[in-house]
Each structure stands twice: as C-alpha cells, then as structure tokens.
Amino acid sequence: MVIKAIFLYFLIINIIGYSIMGFDKSKSRRDKWRVSEKNLFAIAFLGGALGMLLGMRTFRHKTNKRKFQIGIPVLSVLNLAVYIYLYIKAF
C-alpha cells in the first residue's frame, strides 16, 4: 500500500512539474503573468524535478538560466535518492 502511495505521489508531482513548465512557457511567449522561479523550484524540491527537467527539454524553457541548468538536475538526483530510499524502507 505504501509503495502505491509513493508511486502515485511521484507520478502526480512530476506531471504537475512537466505541465507547469509548458504552462509557463506558453505564458512567456504571450508576455502574460508568469509562474515565479521560487514556485518552480518549490515544485522541483517537493519531488517534481524529473518532470520539470523533461519539461525544460521538451518546451525549451529556462534552459539558458544557469540556476535551472544546475538546480533542476541536482534536485532530480536528490528526488530519485529519496524515492529509492522510501522504496527500500517500505520493504
């Protein structure tokens, strides 16, 4: 049961991370209200870094910003480490 909850959380937060990158990119093209970088990093920190990394690559969004070039991949590795730890701990 715990494994299913961890997997579901992982799936949902990464879908949110991916989607928010696409949403922010579309807003930036139209010079509209944007998602703050602080909120983008909060989503990545909470487990959505892999989805955001995929979104960065897919939508070519925030790829020239150094803090995203470094921060999102680092958070992806940390997220994976936490998920693996939780998976192992569940057994």
Q: What is the per-residue pLDDT for 2? A: 80
- pLDDT at 1 > cutoff 90: no
pLDDT digits (tens, 9 = 90+) for 35-84: 999 999 999 999 999 999 999 999 999 999 999 999 999 999 999 999 99
Q: What is the per-residue pLDDT for 91? A: 76
For the stretch 75-83, contacts whose Cβ atoms lie closer than 8 Å and that sit 24 or more positions apart, written own/partner, are 75/41, 75/44, 75/45, 75/49, 76/44, 76/49, 76/50, 78/49, 79/44, 79/47, 79/48, 79/49, 79/50, 80/50, 82/47, 83/6, 83/10, 83/47
Task: Quote the number of domains for the chain.
Answer: 1
Tell me which residue range forms the domain holding 86.
Answer: 2-90
